[in-house]
């Protein structure tokens, strides 16, 4: 069992940083502090100078891990990067960089979040319980309510089942973790505790294709299976690495895998990991932005087609994607129109087509991610577009 930090999470930001920065710590002292459990941001525990010292130590040890990774699928993972505190989209095809959408306006740690595809938005709960809705591809936060966690606990995970039910995981970091259910159909939003999970420090929440709930305990480094009706957890098995700080977990329907954005103490950096829900063991799919320190308090996957049934568009296809100069469109019925929006929600292109094929010039667009809205025979769809 790891050491347990006995300072409540809500006091870490104001207390720990000031204490740690009074005297310059040695590397051994920094490593000893790193060996403790910390459930928030790495910047709550280490100063900028201390982070650079640890980066130098770990990156020298793990320089063979700094190659970029090319992975599977055409998926984006939405999150907030909690070192520089920016809203980001992580492309599972290329972990060498992420799309920096813009700074988060929040001052509290964003430890729990889940995508609501019907709203094309992410619901986020910060460490004091404020609930926000953030449209995908933007850094705009709308406060929609408050989540009451059990006394002394903060939310560290959200997951949405296939039927739309949203569960939350909260913990005090020193022995109490609780499963709750959220009701977004009432005003104000209701959060009902189901029961204690038995974890020391439950740090993330995810599911599988059968809507079974999983979490991992930052204290024991074990994956656990959580009963949705009682909250009680049973161990599945060790995750296979030393996890610390806020972690993210998400079911990816495209690959049918449970994924993690995991802060690995052995690397002092974050990885994308695949979880074996039968054994608990995880395997790394690559370091996220190798050579720079990143940390993610939550993560959730969303598809290239943002919640719209592609079959409604009657054979619609477009290529190439990524694109550099032109996009070719094709459908079985008339393509009425296309619109392209940048990540700030600004319309950068609108064109009427009224044909089954068309080519559109996008040479003037800056490199980056865009949202492509298409209307085919009166039906609308939205897609991710990458301009190179």
pLDDT score, position 141 = 94
pLDDT of residue 66: 37
Tell me the whole-structure pTM to 2 decimals.
Answer: 0.71
Contact 170, 231 (CB under 8 A): no
User: Which pLDDT score, from 0 to 100, does residue 190 have?
Assistant: 96
Report the pLDDT value the prediction gives residue 18, as an integer from 0 to 100. Answer: 42
Residue 118: predicted pLDDT: 65
12 SS3 class: helix
φ, ψ of residue 221 in degrees (nearest 5): 55, 45
What pLDDT digit, counting tens, does each position of 42-85 carry?
888 889 898 889 888 887 666 544 333 333 334 557 787 777 78
Distance CA 147, CA 1 (A): 31
What is the pLDDT at residue 72? 34
The two counts, helices (H) then strands (E), for the chain are: 4, 25
What's the confidence (pLDDT) of residue 38? Answer: 85
Q: Which domains does the chain have, with CATH numbers?
A: 9-63 (no CATH), 67-303 (2.120.10.30), 310-387 (2.60.40.1220)
The reported pLDDT for the residue numbered 143 is 94
Contact 261, 77 (CB under 8 A): yes
What pLDDT does 65 receive?
Answer: 42
- Per-position DSSP letters for 184-200, written without gaps between them: TTSSSPEEEEEEE---S
In this prediction, the residues of the chain whose per-residue pLDDT falls under 50 are 4-21, 64-74, 305-311
* pLDDT value for 116: 83
- C-alpha to C-alpha distance for 123 and 144, rounded to whole angstroms: 9
């Amino acid at each position: 069992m790891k050491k347990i930090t006995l300072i409540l999470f809500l006091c870490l930001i104001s207390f720990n940083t000031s204490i740690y920065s009074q005297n310059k710590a040695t590397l051994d002292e920094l490593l000893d502090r790193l060996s403790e459990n910390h459930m928030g941001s790495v910047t709550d525990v280490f100063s900028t100078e201390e982070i650079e010292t640890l980066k130098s130590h770990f990156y020298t040890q793990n320089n063979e891990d700094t190659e970029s990774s090319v992975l599977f699928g055409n998926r984006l993972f939405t999150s907030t990067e909690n070192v520089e505190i920016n809203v980001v989209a992580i492309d599972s095809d290329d972990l060498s960089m992420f799309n920096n959408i813009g700074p988060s306006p929040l001052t509290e740690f964003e430890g729990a979040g889940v995508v609501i595809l019907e709203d094309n938005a992410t619901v986020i709960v910060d460490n004091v319980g404020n609930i926000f809705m953030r449209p995908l591809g933007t850094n705009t936060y709308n406060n929609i309510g408050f989540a009451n966690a059990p006394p002394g606990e903060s939310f560290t995970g959200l997951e949405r089942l296939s039927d739309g039910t949203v569960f939350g995981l909260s913990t005090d970091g020193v022995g109490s973790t609780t499963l709750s259910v959220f009701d977004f159909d009432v005003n104000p939003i209701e959060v009902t505790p189901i029961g204690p999970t038995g974890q020391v420090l439950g740090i993330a929440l995810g599911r599988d294709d059968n809507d079974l709930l999983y979490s991992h305990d930052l204290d024991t480094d074990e994956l656990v299976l959580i009963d949705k009706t009682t909250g009680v957890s049973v161990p599945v098995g060790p995750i296979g690495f030393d996890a610390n700080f806020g972690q993210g977990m998400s079911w990816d329907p495209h690959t049918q895998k449970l994924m993690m954005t995991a802060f690995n103490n052995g690397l002092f950096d974050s990885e994308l990991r695949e979880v074996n829900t039968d054994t608990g063991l995880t395997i790394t799919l690559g370091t996220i932005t190798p050579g720079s320190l990143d940390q993610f308090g939550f993560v959730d996957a969303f598809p290239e087609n943002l919640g719209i049934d592609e079959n409604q568009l009657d054979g619609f296809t477009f290529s190439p994607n990524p694109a550099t100069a032109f996009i070719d469109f094709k459908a079985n019925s008339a393509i009425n129109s296309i619109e392209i929006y940048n990540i700030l929600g600004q319309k950068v292109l609108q064109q009427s087509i009224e044909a089954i094929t068309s080519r559109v010039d996008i040479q003037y667009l800056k490199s980056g991610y865009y949202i492509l809205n298409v209307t085919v025979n009166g039906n609308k769809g939205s897609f991710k577009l990458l301009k190179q």
